[in-house]
Every structure is written in structure tokens, then in C-alpha cells.
């Protein structure tokens, strides 16, 4: 009963409000309610099916593609970035001939030397052992440098000294390892360090130093070649290994390719040391005459040394030079390192009976391929090229070479050594004070 009455009261009140409320206020109430209902409807989440969502994505992708095709096209150009390559230390590969002035080099030998050296960083010096004339220098900067350690190419010097001092003969056997013995020929062929270290110890520093100087180490080898440097010959035993290491590796010595070529030329021609000359004008070429520096009485010592150098080419450390059946050259390898790079030497001459060309090859770099056998391979390529071109058939011009009676006085007095000596040892003693 009370609930029914209450409902009637509420209804009456509502009707009163509708009758007596201002029109504007009632309208506002209705409008606000409608707005609130609409807003709530918009905020409510709209649920769509997966198919509808996929269709929407496809349509959006189509609109994006259409906008791309309708937009102006832009061409993208890729720019190549060139980086400068920096080597750590001396490079193994280089254009070794790029800075040379070779107007008066023998063109046949020079071309063979450049092709033989190829991409390697190195130098090739070619000279005529019968006159001292420099025929070509590839990489003149390297050839005219202050010098490099000679490595095992010092061993022929030690062999000459030991034979002349009667420390050994051809057949002397020296123990180089437990129950292993070698003679001079085999020691040269295989460049055995222990053999030559023992020779150095037996002779002592003073004797080794005298013979090295007598064969041109530590002095200028050229005549009026302003670019040449004299290298270094120590005045006391090297701290690293003493005279033994000096006799096997050339420790303490700095030798240039020119000096090494001059040294082997003296061995090749029987003992005459010529001043090296490098004609650089047409007039110098026309006026060229050999100049004797000194003569050494070593002919009787040389067969054993030559046999060892030939054995090195045939089956020893220089076998990569790959001498052919109708070709002949002989030489000595050297492999070691200095503070800047690895070094590979090969010094040699062609035609043992009638020497016509001496080559000194030096390679440098960081690669383990840089060694004496590589330089021997380079020399082999040069020799083969020259044999193919029949170069050696008329290589030497005997009319330009002096006879045995040519006096050393053709050299200016201030640089002239005695023309002859009873033995190389006697001459070495005569020079021991200076």
C-alpha cells in the first residue's frame, strides 16, 4: 500500500516538473542526455572480423603503392669510396723500376730484369765481369742505398779466406751436427751455417775482416758514381754472435748490390777486381775503358768455390733458378732479416768457362716468400730470357777488356791498389794496418 502511494507521488512530481519547468531548462536537460548517449556510443569498441581486418590492410597497401608510383622518381647514384692501403713495414710487392733513369742501360738486359723481378719489391744489378761495366740497374734507389746484411752471400768470402790460409782443403770434413760431416762444396751447396761458423772461429776476426775488405766489402766499388755508398765492415767482432755469426750470416756487415756484384765478378774472372762504371752520357759510353782496382792471386782457390756454387744451383738452395739443359749459371743464395724486413739475396754469374754476366738480385718484404730461393728463381727467369734471345753469343766485347798486362796505373794514383801480389794473404797482411 505504501509502495503504491509512493509511486503515485513520484509520478505527480514528475508531471509538475514538466508543466512548470522553463522550456529552455528542460530542453537543455534533454540535449545533454542525448549528447552523452552519442559519446558513449562512439567510445564503445568496434568489433570486426579477421577477414575485414585483412581486407583493410590490403586496401592500405594498394593506396601506398599508388602514391609511390604517382610520385616523382629519384635516381640514387652509389659513390665508390677508395681507401688508401697502409703497409706495416717494407712491402713485398712494388713497382721496383718506376723511379729509374735508365736511358743508357742495356735495353735487352733491363727488359729481362724487369720481367724477371715482376711484381716483387727488389733490385737487380747486372754487370760485365770482364770490364766492370754496369749494364743495368733495376730499382736504383735500392741499389744505391747504404746497404743490407749480406746473409749467406758472405760465405764465398769466408771460403776464399779459409782456403788461402790453409784452414781447410777441398776434402776437409767438418762436423756440423751429431755424426754429420760436410766438405766445402756441400756446405756451399746447402748454405750450412755451422760449417762457416766453425771456419770463422778457426780464423779469428782479424783474418775474416782482412779478406772481406780485400774483396771489396766496406769500400766503394764504383768509379765516379756519386750515388753509391760504401756500406759497412765492422772494426771489431759483432756483439751478436761474434766472428762466427759474421762468417755465416754477415752479422755486422752492410753490403750493397753493387758491392756484392763486384765481389762475385772478381771470383768469376779469376781474381781481377774492376772499378764498376755506369756510363750516363753518349760520350761516357764512347770513351768507356775498364779500370783495374786490384788483382788477387786466387785462381788456384776458385774451382772448389765454383763447384759449390754450381751445386747450389743444381740441387742446393738455389735449385729454384731451374737451370736448363743447355744453360749454365752458378751462384749463392742468402736469406735473413734486418730490422725492417725479410731479405732474399742471390748473386750469380752465367757461363763458368767464359763468364759473361753477373747478376745480383735482392728482394725485400714482410712475406715468408721473401728468401734467397725466390731471388734465385728471379735470376733464373732473367737468364732464360737472355738465352732465348741468344744474348750470350756476343755478350762480351773483348776489344774493350784489358789484357793481363794492363797496368793498374790506368786508375788515378790515389785509388790505385798494387797490380799484383804473390798471394791474397800477402796482400791482406800489407793492408792490415789501414
**Residue 371, in any domain of the structure:** no
**Residue 18, in any domain of the structure:** no
From the CB of residue 107, how many other CB atoms can be counted at a distance below 10 Å? 10
For residue 181, the Cα-to-chain-centroid distance in whole angstroms is 35
Grade residue 242 by pLDDT with cuts at 50, 70 and 90: very high
**Residue 102, in any domain of the structure:** no
Instruction: Using a pLDDT cut of 90, give the percent of the chain over it.
Output: 67
Q: Dihedral sign, CA of 195, 196, 197, 198?
A: positive
**Residue 293, in any domain of the structure:** yes
**Residue 51, in any domain of the structure:** no
**Residue 180, in any domain of the structure:** yes
Mean pLDDT score, 199-226: 98
Residue 202 has pLDDT above 80, yes or no: yes
Q: Which cell numbers in the block locate residue 183?
A: 766438405
For residues 157 and 263, the answer to whether their CB atoms sit within 8 Å is: yes
Domain count, the chain: 1
- pLDDT number for residue 351: 85
For residues 149 and 254, the answer to whether their CB atoms sit within 8 Å is: yes
For residues 351 and 329, the answer to whether their CB atoms sit within 8 Å is: yes
Grade residue 211 by pLDDT with cuts at 50, 70 and 90: very high
* Cβ neighbours of residue 403 closer than 8 Å, sequence gap 6 or more: none
Can you give the residue range of the structural domain that contains 386?
A: 107-257+270-351+381-430
- pLDDT number for residue 63: 60
Placement of cell 765516379 in the chain: 224
**Residue 37, in any domain of the structure:** no
Average of per-residue pLDDT values in the chain: 81
pLDDT tens-digit profile of 400-426?
Answer: 443 333 333 333 333 333 333 434 543
- pLDDT number for residue 77: 39
pLDDT tens-digit profile of 386-404?
Answer: 999 999 886 655 434 433 3
More confident residue, 35 or 335: 335
Residue 88 has pLDDT above 70, yes or no: no
Residue 427 has pLDDT above 60, yes or no: no
Q: Which helix (H) or strand (E) holds 53?
A: helix 50-70
More confident residue, 97 or 406: 97
- pLDDT number for residue 30: 36
DSSP H stretches of helix in 242-370: 242-249, 257-268, 282-286, 302-314
**Phi–psi pair at 422, nearest 5 degrees:** -65, -30
**Residue 376, in any domain of the structure:** no
From the CB of residue 213, how many other CB atoms can be counted at a distance below 10 Å? 17
For residues 251 and 240, the answer to whether their CB atoms sit within 8 Å is: yes
Give the three-class secondary structure for 301.
Answer: helix
- pLDDT number for residue 322: 83
CA distance 37 to 393: 118
- pLDDT number for residue 411: 32
pLDDT tens-digit profile of 102-123?
Answer: 999 999 999 999 999 999 999 9
Q: What is the CATH number of the domain that holds 314?
A: 3.40.710.10
- pLDDT number for residue 422: 32
More confident residue, 352 or 313: 313
- pLDDT number for residue 421: 42
For residue 230, the Cα-to-chain-centroid distance in whole angstroms is 23
Grade residue 385 by pLDDT with cuts at 50, 70 and 90: very high
The DSSP call for residue 121 is S
* Cβ neighbours of residue 275 closer than 8 Å, sequence gap 6 or more: 132, 221, 222, 223, 291, 292, 293, 411, 415
Amino acid at each position: 500500500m505504501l509502495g503504491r502511494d509512493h509511486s503515485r507521488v513520484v509520478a505527480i512530481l514528475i508531471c509538475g516538473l514538466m508543466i512548470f519547468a522553463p522550456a529552455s531548462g528542460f530542453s537543455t536537460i534533454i540535449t545533454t542526455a542525448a549528447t552523452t548517449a552519442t559519446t558513449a556510443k562512439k567510445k564503445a569498441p568496434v568489433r570486426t572480423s579477421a577477414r575485414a581486418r585483412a581486407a583493410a590492410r590490403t586496401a592500405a597497401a594498394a593506396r601506398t603503392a599508388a602514391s609511390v608510383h604517382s610520385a616523382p622518381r629519384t635516381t640514387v647514384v652509389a659513390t665508390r669510396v677508395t681507401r688508401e692501403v697502409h703497409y706495416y713495414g717494407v712491402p713485398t710487392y712494388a713497382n721496383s723500376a718506376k723511379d729509374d733513369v735508365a736511358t743508357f742501360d742495356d735495353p735487352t738486359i733491363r727488359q729481362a730484369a724487369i720481367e724477371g723481378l715482376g711484381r716483387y719489391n727488389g733490385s737487380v744489378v747486372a754487370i760485365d765481369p770482364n770490364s766492370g761495366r754496369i749494364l743495368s740497374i733495376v730499382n736504383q734507389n735500392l741499389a744505391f742505398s747504404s746497404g743490407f746484411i749480406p746473409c749467406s752471400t758472405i760465405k764465398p768470402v769466408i771460403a776464399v779466406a779459409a782456403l788461402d790460409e790453409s784452414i781447410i782443403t777441398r776434402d776437409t770434413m767438418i762436423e756440423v751436427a751429431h755424426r754429420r760431416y760436410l766438405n766445402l762444396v756441400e756446405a756451399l751447396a746447402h748454405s750450412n751455417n755451422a760449417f762457416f761458423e766453425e771456419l770463422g772461429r778457426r780464423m779469428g776476426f782479424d783474418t775474416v775482416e782482412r779478406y772481406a775488405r780485400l774483396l771489396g766489402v766496406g769500400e766503394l766499388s764504383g768509379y765516379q758514381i756519386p750515388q753509391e755508398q760504401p756500406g759497412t765492415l765492422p772494426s771489431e767482432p759483432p756483439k751478436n754472435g761474434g766472428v762466427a755469426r759474421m762468417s755465416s750470416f754477415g752479422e755486422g756487415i752492410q753490403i750493397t748490390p753493387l758491392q756484392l756484384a763486384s765481389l762475385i765478378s772478381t771470383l768469376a774472372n779469376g781474381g781481377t777486381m774492376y772499378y764498376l762504371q755506369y756510363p750516363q752520357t753518349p760520350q761516357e759510353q764512347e770513351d768507356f775503358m775498364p779500370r783495374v782496382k786490384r788483382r788477387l792471386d786466387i785462381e788456384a782457390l776458385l774451382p772448389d768455390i765454383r763447384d759449390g756454387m754450381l751445386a747450389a744451383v743444381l740441387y742446393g738452395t738455389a735449385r729454384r733458378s731451374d737451370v736448363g739443359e743447355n744453360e749454365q749459371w752458378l751462384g749463392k743464395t742468402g736469406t735473413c732479416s734486418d730490422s725492417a724486413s725479410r731479405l732474399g739475396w742471390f748473386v750469380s754469374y752465367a757461363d763458368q768457362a767464359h763468364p759473361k754476366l753477373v747478376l745480383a738480385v735482392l728482394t725485400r718484404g714482410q712475406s715468408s716468400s721473401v728468401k734467397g730461393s725466390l731471388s734465385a728463381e728471379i735470376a733464373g727467369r732473367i737468364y732464360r730470357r737472355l738465352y732465348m734471345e741468344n744474348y750470350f753469343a756476343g755478350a762480351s766485347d773483348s776489344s774493350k777488356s784489358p789484357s793481363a798486362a794492363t797496368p793498374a796505373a790506368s786508375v788515378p794514383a790515389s785509388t790505385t791498389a798494387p797490380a799484383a801480389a804473390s798471394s791474397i794473404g800477402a796482400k791482406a797482411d800489407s793492408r792490415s794496418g789501414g
